[in-house]
A and B are shown apart, each in its own frame.
Chain A
Amino acid sequence: MKYVDEFRDPKAVHALSKEIHRITRHPWTIMEVCGGQTHSIVRYGLDRLLPTAITLIHGPGCPVCVTPIELIDAACQLASLPDVIFCSFGDMLRVPGSRDDLLHVKAQGGDIRIIYSPLDAVEIAHTYPQRHIICFAVGFETTAPAQAMAVLQARRLHLSNFSLLVAHVLVPPAMEAILSSSENRVQGFLAAGHVCTVMGYDMYELICHRFQVPIVVTGFEPVDILEGVQLVVTQLEEGRYEVENQYSRSVQQSGNLEARKVVDEVFEPTSRNWRGIGEISRSGLQLRQSFAEFDALRIFEDRIQLSRSSNALESECQSGRILQGLMKPSACSAFGIRCTPEHPLGAPMVSSEGACAAYYRYRHHEVARG
């Protein structure tokens, strides 16, 4: 497969692994921000190709995992309404709310459709003028442009039966929150490549200098990740802290200006509650006032009951500590015993980008044996 195979080349991977062993003198703790990177690392066993002095910890970069429970509950209520077709990316369906998940609502008769692009939801709205189509807008900066495009397209088509349930989150405020925590152990970041494809990496300069921490914009394939680690370790060993771009085949410094413009036209920053972590200032997106007629929560406010945001989290789930890199999934006492993909205590066990799901899928026998 062109454009992928060269970044999975075993020879290149082994050469990078050797180089990282050569340059590493001290113990370092590096966080990969994105859940896609976590899955690559665990799937290919990349952490096992690194010197023991280097610890990779898994970051908050799974939008499914951090979507607050009150929005999952709202989604379940909206999807149960008989006149609604609820459209969502597949990942969200198994995430537990306080009582239900969307798969359960679907089994009870809710009309829930898995979509691959928000524009598919607009198409459905066009096809079913008698029904109201709600698109669950979940994701980081990566998927925000497509959601914004969907809203613009719905307006262009004069669709009055289309809206978004917006749960979008932003990466840089979460990185700042992690670095500001008194428990922080992170000494360098592999920043999420696809987020930077859209947003660029100007904003990381501020974080890098304020917290004196190396940040390397990194892709998702094995060669990308090891190159990212190599660049971070080199900076750490040399006592430097800079923003570097490993993923230059996809990322430009100022990102995708067209995409940023569309996002900015439709959305504005807002405070958001991150599941398991808590509220982070200006870390989410909401629809601008000028697009308020596409806000599902506003349209249906009389027909659903919003639960109060709560971080008295689900039972013994440690997802907050896991999403902040304070704990590895395998260290959780519920992992693989009381928390499995079939009976999850929290979202990281069921999201395709969740760290617990990665450990369960690729390593749980080893974890169980200790």
Chain B
Amino acid sequence: MPTNQDIEIQCPLPLAGDNTIRLAHGGGGHLMQTLIHEIFLQAFSNPFLNSLQDSAVLPPEEGRLAMTTDSYVVRPLFFPGGDIGSLAVHGTINDLAMMGATPRYLSAGFILEEGLPIEILKHVVGSMAKTAQACGVPIVCGDTKVVDRGKGDQIFINTTGLGVIPASLDIGPHRITPGDRMIVSGDLGTHGMAVLSVREGLAFSADIASDSAPLHAVVADLIKNGISIHCMRDLTRGGLASALNELATTARVKMTIDESRIPVSESVRGACEILGLDPLYVANEGRCVLLMPPADVEKALAILQNHAISERAAEIGEVLPLASNHTPQVTLLTPYGTHRILDLLSGEQLPRIC
């Protein structure tokens, strides 16, 4: 659960004398107006949102627009290092940052389950507002729907992000070239293990907090310093292994990474060991992989390591050309000098039995 100082409760007024969400809160009537004014506007207040029009009207921008959308259904809503609200802001901002875009605006759509305590909604909205403010990205439009009890899981959030890419910038899998080096921006697996530890009631001796964090500032710093980033990908569901496989397939290359150079914290390694999970497949929410020419690696690492969220950044491998007739693949060099395939995961990682 969040601590008191994490939560800014911005609504001093009781909400129509009731303390749970009812179907009428999404019905367009009086209760919905109260919800919008007393919770959402209070928390997210900015000129674009406050006009309460059918659309937010935004000024023109220079450069190309980047747009992304993501839905957040994490359970439990609160976990060490974050909550569904902060996640919904970070996740979408990171999707923009991975294209080299400067995040400018967010939307927020809420699907609430009937019976949700309003206090929980306030915590989540408060956290979202605080996170968006810290990232410098206003939430400019929104929507709320309420579904019957049992038809949802407390709160689902969808955020859409709009960002601006400078005309000179071209980042994406099409630029991946054999010889490129790969950097991960920090240690892997903390978000997935933090959520799992709370969800399954697993008490790890060492506390693991989610890495949920915005990556746009560190990406901006890299770009400002002239690092020629060919491609980036944030390492969310499916972890590093899945992200690299997707990139290798799109770019039609082979990739190889060195297991001993991949940063994984002691506590995550220990927890994964106990549960039979592979940290390379565990979800992250504030980590990315960056591909760039070898000449830029040293400088990029110095910049990354200068930011708290990427101080454990490390070079982990390189891109190789794909021989004809071969399918794109990612291989992993084990500490014993043998190679194995690092494949996409089939289904979910399920804990082993003995």
Query: Restricting to B238-278, which residues have a CB under 8 Å from any CB of A?
Result: 266, 269-270, 273, 275-276
B residues lining the A interface (CB < 8 Å): 200, 202, 266, 269-270, 273, 275-276, 326-327, 329, 334-341, 343, 346-347, 350-354
Interface size counted on chain A using CB atoms at 8 A? 45
CA distance A257 to B279 in the complex (A): 35
Q: Does A45 contact B (CB under 8 A)?
A: yes
A residues lining the B interface (CB < 8 Å): 1, 4, 8, 10, 13-14, 36, 42-46, 48-49, 63-64, 89-94, 114, 116, 138-140, 142-143, 194, 222, 340-342, 350, 352-353, 360-366, 369
- Contact A91:B338 (CB < 8 A) given known A1-B270, A4-B273: no
Decide: A364 and B353 in contact? CB cutoff 8 A. no
Decide: B340 and A10 in contact? CB cutoff 8 A. no
Tell me the smallest distance from the CB of B171 to a CB of chain A, in Å: 29
CA distance A140 to B343 in the complex (A): 29
Residue of A nearest to B333 (CB): A45
Decide: B354 and A140 in contact? CB cutoff 8 A. yes
Decide: A341 and B341 in contact? CB cutoff 8 A. no
- Give which listed residue, B337, B338, B339, B353, contacts A143 with CB less than 8 A: B353
Chain B contacts for A142, CB-based, 8 A = 354
Chain A contacts for B347, CB-based, 8 A = 94, 341-342, 350
Decide: A94 and B350 in contact? CB cutoff 8 A. yes
A-B contact pairs, 29 of them (CB 8 A): A10-B335, A13-B336, A14-B337, A36-B354, A43-B340, A44-B334, A44-B338, A44-B340, A45-B334, A45-B336, A45-B339, A46-B336, A46-B338, A48-B338, A63-B353, A90-B351, A91-B350, A94-B347, A114-B351, A116-B200, A116-B275, A116-B351, A139-B354, A140-B354, A143-B354, A340-B346, A361-B341, A365-B341, A369-B326
Chain B contacts for A8, CB-based, 8 A = 335
Chain B contacts for A64, CB-based, 8 A = 353
Decide: A353 and B336 in contact? CB cutoff 8 A. no
Chain A contacts for B337, CB-based, 8 A = 10, 14
Chain B contacts for A365, CB-based, 8 A = 327, 329, 341, 343
Chain B contacts for A89, CB-based, 8 A = 351-353
CA distance A94 to B348 in the complex (A): 10
Chain B contacts for A49, CB-based, 8 A = 336, 338
